[in-house]
Structure 1
C-alpha cells in the first residue's frame, strides 16, 4: 500500500464524515473496502475475531466505569458542593468566580475523565451565580468551555485510555504523564483570568462578594474530600501496583457510592439514571473503537504505517518541524471533527511516523490529547462551545462563547509549543515513578 493510497483513503473518510455518515460506518466501510482491494475476502473474514477481541479487551472495561463515576458525582450533587467550597476561596482574586470555574473543572476532571461532563456540570452549577453577579458573558462562558477541556488531560482520562488502547501504550504511564501538564495548564488559565481582570481594572469581576469568615471557609472544605480521595484511589492504586486501570476505576466507583450514601443521596432513581446514561455513552465509544481496530487491520497488513513514514521522511522534517505541522493539521481537523473521531482516525497513521522521528509515544499521547482539547473549543464543531451554550439561561448569542474561548485556544497552542521544546514537563514524572 503506497502513501498515495493511504492519503486517498483518508480523504475519502473525511468526505464521508462531512457528508454526515456515522464515524463507525466510515471506518468499517474503509477497512472492508480497502481489505477487499488489497487482500481479498480472507482479510475481511478475519475482522470478526478482531471485533470480538476488542469487546473482550480488559483495559477498555475502564471506560464505562469512569463514565459511571462522572455520572454519579454529577447527579448526586457532590459536584455542586465542590464548586461552592472552592468559590469561597477564589472570590476575592482578580477575576473572582472565573477562577472557580477553572479550579472546579480541574478538580472534577480528576474524577470524571470527560470533557463534556466537566463543562456541563460546572456550567450548570456556576452560570446562574455568574449571571446574577454581572460577569461578562463571553468571559464566563469562555472560562467554562476551556475549563471543561481539562477533563481529558488531567487523569483519569477516557481519551488517554483510548489512546493507550490504540497505541498499545501503558495507561498508567499516560495517566501519570498528564498530571504536571494538566496542573500547569490549569494555573496558566487562572493566570490569564487574573491578568485580564487587572488590565481591565476589574471589569470582569462582577459584583463584589463578601468573604466568609475563615472558620466557615474551612468548614466548607469538607466537600473537597470526595474528589480528592477518588483521585488518590485511582492514581495511588495504579502507581503502587495494587490495581490495574480497570480495577482502579471500579474502586473509584465504590468509593463514590460510599460518599453518596454518607450524603444520603443514594436512590434507585439516581442509579437508574446514571447506569442508563453511562450505557448510552459507552455504547457509542466502544462501537467507534471497534470500527477503528477493524480499519487498523487493513492499515497494518497493507503496510500503511511504513509507507506514510517513508513518505514523511522524504521531506526531511525535523521532529520539531513535524510536530509544528501536526499542530496546524489538528487545529484544522478539530474545526470539523469531534474528538473521538480525530483520535481513532489519526493515531494509527500518525503514531508510527512520529515514533520513527524519535518522539516518545507517551509524550505524543499528551500532545494528541492537547490537540483534542483544542478541537473542543474551536468552531464550528467545538463540542464544549455547544455544551456551555446549552446550559446558559439568558438565551444570549452563541458568539459569546466563541469570543470567550478564543484566548484559551491560543494559550493551548502556546502551551503545546512549550511542551515541544521542553518535553521533560511531560516525561519527568513517568520516568521517575516507573
Structure 2
C-alpha cells in the first residue's frame, strides 16, 4: 500500500481510537500494534515492549516528575493567593492595576507550578470575585485568568518544553530560554488588551480602589520571595553549568516541599501524601504517553510513513510559509481535542523533518507549537481552562467565559505572527546565553 495512503489510514484510526474514550497512551499502543501486525506480521509485536521501556531509559525524563512535585507542592499551599495579594498591594495605585496584578500573578504562579488548571484555580478564586466587585466586566475577569493560566506551558521551567526536547532530541536548556521572551510578550499583550477592554467599558470603578501602606506591602513579600528565589536558582543552576536539568529539578522539588512545610505549615502527613500521590499520577500519565509515543513513532517509521510524508512535502513547490501556516492550522485543531503532551509526542516525528527541510529552527518552532497548544487550553470543545473557571465562578456562563477568552486567543495569534516576522524573539536569548546552535 502507498505509504501516504497508509498514513491517512493511521490518522483516521488514531482519531477514532482516541475519541472512543481510552487513554492516550493505550490508544497509541492499540493503533501501533494493530498496524504493525497488519503490515509487518506478528513478529513486530516482540519489539514493542523493548521500544516501550527503552523510550523511558533517559536520564532527562527524571526532570518531569521532579518539576511536577515542585509545582504540586506550590499549588497545595496559599502561595497563589499570597502572590496575588502581593502584586495587588504593589500595583494598587496603577490605573487598572487589579487586572495587571492578576495577569502578573498568573504568569508567576504558572512559572512556579507549571500547571495551567492549578494556576486558574489558585489565582481565580481570589482574583475573579475581586475584579467583579470593583466593576470589571465578567468577560475580562474570567477571560484574563483563563488565558493567564496557559502561560505555565511556555514560561520556564515547562514540562511541555521538556517533552518536546526529549521527543526531538533538542537542548532542554535552550528550549527553556527560548520561551522567556515570547512568554513575556504574551503577558504584555494580555495586559494591553485587558487595560484597553477595561478603558473601553467606561467603568470608573475598575481603577484600583485599595490603598496600602509601605509596611503592608513589604510584610507580604517573605511569603512569596522564597518560591521566586527557587525558580531563579533552578534556572541559574542549569545555565550556570552547576547541574543538569534533572538534578536542578530534584533540588527544586525538595526545596519547594521544605518551604511549603515551613512557611505554610504543610506538616500533616495526609496533605503531603496528597501532593506525592497526585504528582505520581500525573508523572505516570505523561511517562506512559512518552513511552507509547515511542512505539507509535517506530510504527510510522517502520512502515515508511514519516519518510514518505517528509519526501512528499519536500517535492511541493509551495512557499515555506504556506507550509508553516498549514502546520499551524493542524496544531491548532489537534490542540482543541488533545493535551499538549500528546500532540507534541505524536506530531514531532512527522513535523520535525518537515520544518528542518523547510529551513525553520526547531527551537523557534517549539515556541510556536507551544503557543498553539495554549490556544487549545482556552478553546472549545475541550478547553480545560474554561471549565476550571466555570467551576470557580458558576454564575458566569460558559459562553461569557469563552467570549472573554477569544480576545486572548487573538493575542496569541498575534504573538505567533510576530514570532514568524521576528524569529529572534525566540532564538536570541538561547544564542546569547548558550552560543549559536550548530
Could you say which TM-score interval applies, normalised by the shorter chain?
A: over 0.9
TM-score w.r.t. the length of structure 1 is: 0.94
Q: How many Å separate the matches in 2 of 1:298 and 1:356?
A: 22
Q: Is the 8 Å Cα contact of residues 24 and 289 (structure 2) preserved in structure 1? A: yes
Question: Which residue in the other structure is 1:32 paired with?
Answer: 33
Q: Which residue of 2 aligns with 1:97?
A: 98
Give the structure 2 partner of residue 54 of structure 1: 55
Q: Report the CA distance shift for 1:93/1:325 in structure 2 as closer, same or farther (over 3 A).
A: farther
CA distance in 1, matches of 2:112, 2:301: 35
TM-score, structure 2 as length reference: 0.93
**Residues 91-116 of structure 1: CA deviation (Å, up to 9, x unaligned):** 34343322122101111122212222
Q: Distance in 1 between matches of 2:225 and 2:333?
A: 40
Distance 1:251 1:32, change over 3 A: same
Decide whether aligned partners of structure 1 residues 125 and 58 sit closer, same or farther in structure 2, where only a CA change above 3 A counts: farther
Q: Separation in 2 of the partners of 1:134 and 1:279?
A: 41
Q: Name the CA distance, whole Å, in 2 between partners of 1:42 and 1:244.
A: 39
Contact 2:223–2:263, Cα closer than 8 Å, also in 1? no
Mapping for residues 23-422 of structure 1, pairs under 5 Å: 23-202=24-203, 206=206, 208-267=208-267, 268-392=269-393, 394-422=394-422
Structure 1 pair 396–185 and aligned structure 2 pair: CA distance change class (3 A): closer
Task: Return closer, same or farther for 1:188/1:118 CA change in 2, 3 Å cut-off.
Answer: same
Distance change in 2, residues 1:94/1:312 (3 Å) = farther
Residue by residue over 1:361-405, the C-alpha shift from the partner in whole angstroms, topping out at 9 and shown as x without a partner, is 11111111111001111111111111111122x533111210110
Q: Deviations over 1:200-229 (max 9, x none)?
A: 3246x5475222123432333333312321
Tell me the matched-pair count: 432
The alpha carbon displacement at 1:76 in A equals: 2.2
Assess if the C-alpha contact under 8 Å between 1:167 and 1:347 holds in 2.
yes
SS at match of 2:324: helix
Q: Which runs of 5+ in 2 are unaligned?
A: none
Superimposed CA distance per residue, residues 384-430 of structure 1 (whole angstroms, 9 cap, x where no aligned partner)? 111111122x5331112101100000110111011011111100111
Q: Work out whether residues 318 and 357 of structure 1, in 8 Å CA contact, stay in contact via their aligned partners in 2.
A: no
How far the C-alpha of 1:134 sits from its partner, in A, is 3.9
Within 1, Cα distance between the matches of 2:429 and 2:5? 39
Looking at structure 2, the residues matched to 304 and 405 of structure 1 have their Cα atoms a distance apart, in angstroms, of 38
419-428 vs 117-126, greater mean Cα deviation: 117-126
Instruction: Report the Cα offset of residue 235 of structure 1.
Output: 0.8
Q: Distance in 2 between matches of 1:425 and 1:140?
A: 29
- Partners of 1:214 and 1:38 lie apart in 2 by 71
CA distance in 2: counterparts of 1:264 and 1:314, whole angstroms: 60
Unaligned ranges ≥5, structure 1: none
> Which deviates the most, 13-22 or 345-354?
13-22
Helix, strand or coil at the partner of 2:292: helix
SS in 2 for 1:379: coil
Maintained 8 Å contact 2:62/2:246: yes
Kindly state the Cα deviation for residue 46 of structure 1 after the two structures are TM-superposed.
Answer: 1.1
CA contact (8 A) 1:160 1:175 kept: yes
Q: Deviations over 1:313-345 (max 9, x none)?
A: 232223222111122222223233332332222
Identify the range of structure 1 (270-279 vs 30-39) with the bigger mean alpha-carbon deviation. Answer: 30-39
